[in-house]
Amino acid sequence: MSINNAWYLRCGPDDVGESAVLVGDRGRVHLAAELMKDAVILNEDRGLTTATGFFDGERITVSAFGMGAPIATVVLHELAGLGVRRFVRLGTVMTLGETRLGEFVIAHGAVRGESTSASYLPIEFPAVPDFALTRELEAAVQAAELPTRSGIYASYDGFYTEMFETGLGAEPVSQRYERLAKAGVVAADMETSALFVAARALGVAAGSLCLASVAGDTNEKMQHAERVAAEAQLLRAGFAALASAMAPAHV
Ligand SMILES: O=P(O)(O)O[C@H]1O[C@H](CO)[C@@H](O)[C@H]1O
Ligand SMILES: O=c1cc[nH]c(=O)[nH]1
């Protein structure tokens, strides 16, 4: 599906780069705009703040989706229709198992615990990232000497029923997290599996690199100042990976 004017993002093919970053918090788009050169804010409608700028000479678009798989895939779908070929989710995750707060976690796949991905491809289809892009993310994080971990994520729709204990979910959150950790799952978020499956259905590449900012077992959070500084490192590493993926040797 190619489009001339995106319904919700309200921009056209000439406004976007070949690569895009997807973030939840729209404040991260403004931070990204400060880290890029000649960044232009294209849209603020519905909080889907979107900017295009340059990093290491490569044109990159950064879009915020807020929270959750349904709207995250709308944003990916519209950008893919406008011509974006490569996507990196740069967000935050909850820790599972051995993962520690402050680590930069790269997804090698994701448990499809959300419902949106099944509207793109049946549940038998694996939620896996683009492997070349994932290698670029791992190289960028290593080059920046950041604490890192790679592994499988789990993505869910119900924050207060599946990720944070309120007594309302079908099973206790601690039990779900223990079961996942035992199977080697390293992080939980709300969008990665849907983005991987939708990207495969749309024929574009996607990867996910997230900062572990909340402990899944205790709900301890990273301190604000430390998290803000780490989010800037997250954006720089993601941009570097995309710029490297776009460099002539790779395209
Ligand atoms: O840090 P961002 O990108 O907002 O992502 C994470 O934060 C939100 C939940 O706190 C969810 O959207 C989750 O996936
Ligand atoms: O609490 C959190 C933190 C990051 N990502 C989530 O999905 N939940």
- Is 94 near ligand 2, meaning CB less than 6 Å away? yes
CA distances from 179 to 85, 96, 235 (A): 35, 10, 31
- Is 191 near ligand 2, meaning CB less than 6 Å away? no
DSSP state of 46: G
Q: Mean of the per-residue pLDDT values for the chain?
A: 96
- Kindly give the number of the ligand 1 atom that is closest to the alpha carbon of 90: 3
The rounded Å distance from CA 66 to ligand 1 centre is 8
- The rounded distance, in Å, linking the Cα atoms of 192 and 15 is 25
Q: What residues does ligand 1 touch, defined as CB less than 6 Å away?
A: 23-25, 67, 91-92, 189-191
ipTM above 0.85, yes or no: yes
- The rounded distance, in Å, linking the Cα atoms of 84 and 92 is 23
How do strand 205-215 and strand 104-113 relate by DSSP bridges? antiparallel
- The rounded distance, in Å, linking the Cα atoms of 53 and 12 is 15
Nearest CA to ligand 2 atom 2: 94
Instruction: Supply angle C-alpha 105, 154, 73, rounded to 5.
Output: 90
Hey, what are 98's tokens? 């051995």
| The pLDDT of residue 7 is above 70 | yes
- Kindly give the number of the ligand 2 atom that is closest to the alpha carbon of 156: 7
CA distances from 246 to 24, 33, 136, 137, 239 (A): 24, 19, 10, 13, 10
Domain 13-250 in this protein, CATH class: alpha beta
Closest CA to 164 of 67, 46, 86: 67
pLDDT at 250: 56
pLDDT at 3: 87
- The rounded distance, in Å, linking the Cα atoms of 190 and 24 is 10
Which residue is associated with the tokens 């790679």?
Answer: 150
Query: What are the extents of the domains in the chain?
Result: 13-250
Which residue is associated with the tokens 């997250």?
Answer: 234
- The rounded distance, in Å, linking the Cα atoms of 85 and 18 is 5
Closest CA to 105 of 57, 151, 69, 170: 151
For residue range 195-241, what is the model confidence (pLDDT) as tens digits? Answer: 999 999 999 999 999 999 999 999 999 999 999 999 999 999 999 99
Task: Give me the residues paired with residue 212 across strands.
Answer: 93
| The pLDDT of residue 251 is above 60 | no
- Is 189 near ligand 2, meaning CB less than 6 Å away? yes
For residue range 79-134, what is the model confidence (pLDDT) as tens digits? Answer: 999 999 999 999 999 999 999 999 999 999 999 999 999 999 999 999 999 999 99
The rounded Å distance from CA 27 to ligand 1 centre is 12
Distance of alpha carbon 180 from the chain centroid: 20
